[in-house]
Structure 1
Amino acid sequence: MSVFSEGAAKFAEELEEDALAAGKQNQGIPDDLHYDCSKTDADIQTVLEVRAAGGAQAPPAEPATEMVAVIKRHCVITDLEIDAMVLWILASYAMDDFRVFPKLALISPEKRCGKTTTMEVVGSMAKDGLIVSNMSAATIYRLAEQMQYTLLIDETDTFLKNGDAEINGLINSSHTKSAAKVTRCVGENHEPRVFSTWMPMVLASIGVLADTLMDRSITINLRRKKSHEHTERVPADLNEISEPLRQSISAWVEANRAAMRSQSVDVPNIGNDRAGDNWEPLLAVAALLGGSWPGRCERAFRELTIVEEPEQQTMLLRDIQQYFLKSGSLRVTSKELCEALTGDEDGPWKTCSNGKPLTPHLVGKLLRPYGVKPKTMRVGDNTPRGYEKAQLEDAFERYLS
């Protein structure tokens, strides 16, 4: 005889059926939701729908604001230079997505300007940062093969400024991805092997470095701290403290990697194409950060980029163009051209050749790389040599526009 009444037995049967139905309904629900008592069935369904649509997690927060705060805490640098450093570090995590990647040059006029401190701060946020104070040529490409470190070279002035042409060449080679390779013979059989030099580099120096290095760098000008300027000392465990920030940087870059590859940026024309190449990765990151960052990056680009004086042959080309524009003439003899250019008291041509004035011979020498040669022309009964405007139009358009 059953100990259950008929009503109790029916209730037990209904409970069993509900349990079976619930089991079927809960199949496929992840454990993190299945055991979360705070969520209703409707809440769980909403989460599942969001996950199914690819929205399981909110996009990572931008790390740039925290990076600015870290640099300001320890370094005496202008706001524009801080912005440039932050954008360079962020871009370095996605270096492989760019055709060209610049060095970051930390240049101080004298000692005690915070060079090593700034390098430590940059290194604490960099991807696989490695700080060294000297190195051989071989270690550069061996390290790049081992891992794509962010190589931070302190005391660069002590061994690069007047030094090893091979090391300079290797560092220069890492500027353009397609050319960031060197060949060396290895092993007992001296088999030729190709090594990569493609990795982010930070160069810290007292005084400027070789022109070729500076031309490939974003330059940060360090300054000695004034008595009233307060900074915090760098803690011994800064690298460990910064681990969450590096993870945040990495997560943000990875989340925006596809957009970084696909987008194109307009590089402001300031008359320096190499500088435009250097800043393109930073401009790309600024565009993804949005808000005030694109404008801040452009201001930093214009302020920190040095537009150097043109070389002598370019100045000559420019002044010949101005001569034709002002005179309205379509041709000029070499002698007349030299007289016109050396007659300008403010111009460089009175003392351009070791203190001596411009000559027809020097004009011909400077114009030869442009494919322009003097030609014989008739002027009355004379046949002097000179130049027609039409000869120079191609060079004007290519090098002065």
Structure 2
Amino acid sequence: MTTTRTPIDGAALLSEVEAFHRRFNVFPREAAYAAVVLWDAHAHLIDCFETTPRIAFLSPEPGSGKSRALEIIELLTPRPVATVSASANALYRLVGSGEGLPTVLFDEIDTVFGPKATADEQLRGFLNAGWRHIGGALRCVGEGSNQNAAVFDSFCAVALAGLGHLPDTILTRSVIVRMRRRARNEKVEPYRQRLHMREGHALRDRLAEWADTVRDQVAEAWPEMPEGISDRPADVWEPLLAVADAAGGEWPDRARAACVELVAASQGDDKGSIGIRLLTDLRDHVMVGLDRLPTVAIIDRLNALDDAPWADMGGRPLDSRSLSKMLREYMTADNTPVAARNIRTSGGVLKGFYSADLADAWTRYCPPPAPR
């Protein structure tokens, strides 16, 4: 006698996963709950995707719930490997072990990429290359003179948590959740792994079972992107939208709303790139309504901005030389580096910058200006 298995309601299952997160995690945006749940589910379907977004829990201060977010994800994802210190070579071998792709949970990532750390470029290479299901690291393996070239794959799901910020190359491959300390009125259930692991693993196993029923659908999916989402954010969010479409119910709409909100938040949070921060401050605070401004005036206005880094750039304020060096990395509409030009003033001719020379860079790199 053949037993008919009851179909799994994907939408209801994702809602159960969300409820489990809400018991222990307080995220600063409702959109973050949808993103994290879809990320958990995508880890069970990772072989269906060309890319796997990193999910990054970042905060300015300790005690903001980042590590707890990783602990809950650890219960819900396949073959989790939690670490606060790992070499790139060890991770390459982990991915290529043949035991199934791991879900790497990397806490305290600021100890690797923070301002007081010496950046591990090999680890950054692993994180950058491993978000796309092609390529890998080319290494020589063997003993003595008997060496052969081999490619080590790095494609796997990675969740990160740390203080401050990450390198731009990692941020642009990530769904970013900016964490903050809980307010007094924000309550969570005390988490104890020995008590809650079985419940989390039961949800994990049901996610895996559901994933097997939608694997073909997800592998062939080409999810429609929300309006205004450009190429790189589209690559990041495509797997999560495909999972949401497979689950159905409210999840397709929630996923797209979360995509728009979190992408806009990450673009508005300029700190991933000091160059984009400079361009944005010039556009929004320094040269508003002006077609040109002498360099000395630009420096004075930048250094006077509150909550900006310009007054302390490595122990001293931004100066004209540093300003020119940063701006010449960008191009004008005529494809020439942005450079200071002569500006005729009542006090004579001074070097300065023209808004027209910066307009192309403002359009290409800066987030849309806030409504006035």
TM-score (norm 1): 0.64
Farther off after superposition, 276-285 or 194-203: 276-285
**How far apart, in 1, do the equivalents of 2:221 and 2:131 lie?**
21
Q: Do the aligned partners of residues 224 and 292 (structure 1) sit closer, same or farther apart at CA in structure 2, a change above 3 Å counting?
A: same
- Asked whether the 8 Å contact 1:152–1:201 carries over to 2, the reply is yes
Match of 1:10 in 2: none
- Asked whether the 8 Å contact 1:182–1:194 carries over to 2, the reply is yes
| Residue 204 (1) aligns with residue 204 (2) | no
Q: Give the deviation of 1:356 after TM superposition.
A: 8.2
**How far apart, in 1, do the equivalents of 2:67 and 2:338 lie?**
53
Amino acid at match of 1:75: N
**How far apart, in 2, do the equivalents of 1:77 and 1:318 lie?**
29
Q: Do the aligned partners of residues 391 and 144 (structure 1) sit closer, same or farther apart at CA in structure 2, a change above 3 Å counting?
A: same
Q: Do the aligned partners of residues 152 and 393 (structure 1) sit closer, same or farther apart at CA in structure 2, a change above 3 Å counting?
A: closer
Q: What does the per-residue CA deviation read over 1:62-117, in whole Å, with 9 as the maximum and x for residues that have no partner?
A: 12011011111222224322211101111122223323222122234213x33333
Number of residue pairs the alignment of both structures matches? 332
Q: What secondary structure, in the 3-state scheme, does the structure 2 residue paired with 1:226 have?
A: coil
Match of 1:245 in 2: 203
Q: Do the aligned partners of residues 268 and 127 (structure 1) sit closer, same or farther apart at CA in structure 2, a change above 3 Å counting?
A: farther
Q: What secondary structure, in the 3-state scheme, does the structure 2 residue paired with 1:250 have?
A: helix
Q: Do the aligned partners of residues 319 and 236 (structure 1) sit closer, same or farther apart at CA in structure 2, a change above 3 Å counting?
A: closer
**How far apart, in 1, do the equivalents of 2:72 and 2:212 lie?**
22
Match of 1:293 in 2: 251
Q: Give the deviation of 1:124 after TM superposition.
A: 0.6
Point out the structure with the larger helix share: 1
Q: What does the per-residue CA deviation read over 1:287-340, in whole Å, with 9 as the maximum and x for residues that have no partner?
A: 2323322332233231463134487589879999xxxxx99x9xx9xxx99899
Amino acid at match of 1:133: V
State the identity %.
24
**How far apart, in 2, do the equivalents of 1:160 and 1:392 lie?**
30
Q: Give the deviation of 1:123 after TM superposition.
A: 0.7
| Residue 149 (1) aligns with residue 133 (2) | no
Q: Do the aligned partners of residues 241 and 366 (structure 1) sit closer, same or farther apart at CA in structure 2, a change above 3 Å counting?
A: closer
Match of 1:60 in 2: 8
**How far apart, in 2, do the equivalents of 1:120 and 1:316 lie?**
38
| Residue 117 (1) aligns with residue 65 (2) | no
- Asked whether the 8 Å contact 1:129–1:150 carries over to 2, the reply is yes
Q: What secondary structure, in the 3-state scheme, does the structure 2 residue paired with 1:262 have?
A: coil
- Asked whether the 8 Å contact 1:208–1:214 carries over to 2, the reply is no
- Asked whether the 8 Å contact 2:279–2:362 carries over to 1, the reply is no
Amino acid at match of 2:152: F
Q: What does the per-residue CA deviation read over 1:124-168, in whole Å, with 9 as the maximum and x for residues that have no partner?
A: 110111222322222110100013110112233334431342222
Amino acid at match of 1:137: A
Q: Give the deviation of 1:187 after TM superposition.
A: 1.7
User: What are the ranges of 5 or more consecutive residues in structure 1 without an aligned counterpart?
Assistant: 1-30, 34-55, 321-325, 375-389
**How far apart, in 2, do the equivalents of 1:372 and 1:218 lie?**
32
| Residue 255 (1) aligns with residue 180 (2) | no
Q: Do the aligned partners of residues 313 and 120 (structure 1) sit closer, same or farther apart at CA in structure 2, a change above 3 Å counting?
A: closer
**How far apart, in 1, do the equivalents of 2:58 and 2:138 lie?**
31
Q: What secondary structure, in the 3-state scheme, does the structure 1 residue paired with 2:55 have?
A: strand
Q: Do the aligned partners of residues 394 and 157 (structure 1) sit closer, same or farther apart at CA in structure 2, a change above 3 Å counting?
A: closer
Match of 1:269 in 2: 228
**How far apart, in 1, do the equivalents of 2:119 and 2:361 lie?**
36
Q: Give the deviation of 1:226 after TM superposition.
A: 2.8
- Asked whether the 8 Å contact 2:76–2:203 carries over to 1, the reply is yes
Bigger radius of gyration: 1
Q: Do the aligned partners of residues 200 and 394 (structure 1) sit closer, same or farther apart at CA in structure 2, a change above 3 Å counting?
A: same
Q: Which runs of 4+ in 1 moved over 6 A?
A: 313-320, 336-342, 344-348, 353-359, 362-365, 390-401
Q: Do the aligned partners of residues 170 and 365 (structure 1) sit closer, same or farther apart at CA in structure 2, a change above 3 Å counting?
A: closer
| 1:161-310 equivalence runs, <5 A | 161=114, 162-165=117-120, 166-179=122-135, 181-188=136-143, 189-205=146-162, 207-212=163-168, 213-220=170-177, 221-224=179-182, 226=184, 229-236=187-194, 238-260=196-218, 261-269=220-228, 273-301=231-259, 302-303=261-262, 305-306=265-266, 307-309=268-270
- Asked whether the 8 Å contact 1:76–1:231 carries over to 2, the reply is no
